[in-house]
Structure 1
């Protein structure tokens, strides 16, 4: 086998391995037109054809450069030659405020998530490489990130019902470009990749200097692997501690005070951060001093609010529940997901809406039945209204509607090991 063929076989093996234990019937690959994603598109197209899997390509046009539309057309033409269906999604939400790269990244993932769900696709492949991983390490190191941040991007991550897979996370950028040269396939270099106003480009330049000391992407990768093993051990310890001191109650989490206090500070910090993220259906949990202040309130038995979650202190236990103010303006229709976690069923009138029960709903309920959750929990729970008239409050079995969590029971505990 020639050297070129051997390298191509290695890259194809990376793709096949990424889906060896979870091979979907159809999936998408995110393609910007750059070298990394163009290489992944070719590799995925060949693999999908061999495996009889329907492959889609999706490009996000952020609308920030006049060349972006032409670049999306270029990707579409390449995808067509590979017999891969292509879609371009357009972002028009940049207000000119805040961190542009972060806003664009969040918009990109949100657009792809919504598009994939509409197509019945639950897996999207991303073209991040070992170079991206090392750059991320130094960017997060500059922000004094903890162990979770320094472990970098995961090869496989589930977020909002979509599995994001990075088949090429162990491969170097130059290998992918050489692969494209061997195929005689051009790609597009984004000029922002040379703009040193961006932190990622600063990290890339710094790595060029650090390589003179022997600190290259391979060394960084090994360090991140070691940190990943430590993180995994912490995750398992947090999971075991949660099983010992946490119980679920109608979407809330109840923490036994005595058993919780027996946990190590770092384990308790991780447990509470994940609990807040789970209840708020947020991509990220709170960090820093605000989280520490919230933990202090817990230990003193005081009420507190953080990340859209209320802490209700008690003598024997704490209760973590959704904050009403965080969902006061959240609406949905029956049968769809409300607040990222609840689905109201058993009622089909299209003129009805689902919103938080609130104080007006509590007044219409009147006296609460025995065993009902606290009023704070009920106030932030989903209810069905016809205008301002309460039709159903399923958390207390008022009216015809029923209620279930979009996540399966026990999801809080399993996600401690897979977040």
Structure 2
């Protein structure tokens, strides 16, 4: 295994891209920075080494946020052509939000990349996220109080809009990619927003040297993310088993929730807390219509649900022991069962309320 400052060899590149050699086509997300230019160069070299490799399409997303972006996209196009690759520039059009800009830009980028992949018949979109990115993502989510799933940071493979998002360089340090480009004598763009302390990621990046002196270097942080991903996968298996367990307890005579999900309350209460959280999250996110539920709010709901289950014997007969909405889902406890169903849309409820008020 090479050190963190040595170029990536042809043999290592074959290992990095081995899982994609039977794909019909691949989209390479290339912004022009060092990581993505290295991805493009390594993928092109790997493809040439195959007797019959996948078609490669290089895609650059211009977010329209910096005047230099158009010039950088043209440079990527020139580099792609020199490698014999097809290139497309996609633009994020329309109004840009005044807050949450990095997250909105990221969503737009992935949406455009997925659209390009579908149009090209590609099975995967490859991005150039590195070990450094993984460490920074872990820190960001740690400081935001994420749960195990969030602290797993970025997955090597993830499905998005019907396309597999792949990160083949996730175990590779950025320094190795820069060394690879230097040996290949390839230039790359320098995005000043990567150092703009108005954003969270650059501020945390500036702290990494200090963390490294205490043992919190990039390698150890990425290793922690991998271990948490392993634990998260185990909890997901337990949650799958718990769902099957609750269905078996129903024995086929449980009331059918049309358009919803239902759990036998006593069996649900016997499960570990983390598993119960997963089951609620799954149900709310599947049936709600207001986006993913916040973990903290689901934790509060679970606490209220546990209390309601414990006091259900003293509840008024025929009335729900608990009934509340979260993320567009309606959660209730009644008749010894937990029910999760889509909540009435707020706009519709508001129109009904206004109509009732006008008619009174």
The question of a shared fold, defined as TM-score above 0.5 by the shorter chain, is answered with yes
Whether 1:267 aligns to 2:265 is no
Whether 1:315 aligns to 2:335 is yes
Following superposition of structure 1 onto structure 2, how do residues 171-250 of structure 1 map, counting pairs within 5 Å?
171-245=172-246
Q: Equivalent residue of 1:7, what SS? A: coil
Following superposition of structure 1 onto structure 2, how do residues 62-77 of structure 1 map, counting pairs within 5 Å?
62-77=63-78
CA-to-aligned-CA distance 1:260-312 (integer Å, 9 cap, x gap)? 12111221012111222223488744211x21343345443422211122224
CA distance 1:112–1:227, shift in 2 (3 Å):
same
CA distance 1:214–1:284, shift in 2 (3 Å):
same
Distance 1:280 1:42 in 2: 43
Distance 2:139 2:326 in 1: 29
Following superposition of structure 1 onto structure 2, how do residues 96-135 of structure 1 map, counting pairs within 5 Å?
96-135=97-136
Asked whether the equivalents of residues 7 and 176 of structure 2 are also in contact (C-alpha less than 8 Å), the reply is no
Partner of 2:139: 138
Whether 1:45 aligns to 2:44 is yes
Whether 1:279 aligns to 2:287 is yes
Distance 1:57 1:65 in 2: 20
Asked whether the equivalents of residues 308 and 322 of structure 1 are also in contact (C-alpha less than 8 Å), the reply is yes
Asked whether the equivalents of residues 32 and 75 of structure 1 are also in contact (C-alpha less than 8 Å), the reply is yes
CA-to-aligned-CA distance 1:176-214 (integer Å, 9 cap, x gap)? 011111111111110111212221111111111122233
CA distance 1:6–1:135, shift in 2 (3 Å):
closer
TM-score when normalising by structure 1:
0.71
Asked whether the equivalents of residues 97 and 104 of structure 2 are also in contact (C-alpha less than 8 Å), the reply is no
Partner of 2:23: 24
CA distance 1:282–1:61, shift in 2 (3 Å):
farther
CA distance 1:253–1:132, shift in 2 (3 Å):
same
Partner of 1:389: none
CA distance 1:327–1:96, shift in 2 (3 Å):
closer
CA distance 1:249–1:181, shift in 2 (3 Å):
farther
User: Comparing both structures, which one devotes a greater share of its residues to helix?
Assistant: 2
Aligned length, in residue pairs: 326
Distance 2:188 2:115 in 1: 27
Distance 2:198 2:245 in 1: 48
Distance 1:196 1:160 in 2: 32
Asked whether the equivalents of residues 14 and 167 of structure 1 are also in contact (C-alpha less than 8 Å), the reply is no
TM-score when normalising by structure 2:
0.82
Asked whether the equivalents of residues 6 and 176 of structure 2 are also in contact (C-alpha less than 8 Å), the reply is no
Alignment gaps of 5+ in structure 1: 329-357, 360-419
Partner of 1:292: 299
Q: Equivalent residue of 2:345, what SS? A: helix
Structure 1 residue 326: Cα displacement: 6.7
Partner of 1:365: none
Distance 1:241 1:62 in 2: 43
Partner of 1:35: 34
Structure 1 residue 9: Cα displacement: 2.6
Partner of 2:151: 150
CA-to-aligned-CA distance 1:234-283 (integer Å, 9 cap, x gap)? 11111111111259966532222222121112210121112222234887
> Cα RMSD (Å) of the superposition?
2.8
Asked whether the equivalents of residues 297 and 304 of structure 1 are also in contact (C-alpha less than 8 Å), the reply is no
Structure 1 residue 67: Cα displacement: 0.7
Following superposition of structure 1 onto structure 2, how do residues 270-419 of structure 1 map, counting pairs within 5 Å?
270-280=278-288, 284-288=292-296, 290-296=297-303, 298-299=305-306, 300=308, 301-325=321-345
Structure showing greater relative contact order (alpha-carbon pairs closer than 8 Å, 6 or more residues apart): 2
Q: Which moved more, 1:211-220 or 1:235-244?
A: 211-220
Q: Which moved more, 1:10-19 or 1:190-199?
A: 10-19
Asked whether the equivalents of residues 147 and 295 of structure 2 are also in contact (C-alpha less than 8 Å), the reply is no
CA distance 1:256–1:93, shift in 2 (3 Å):
farther
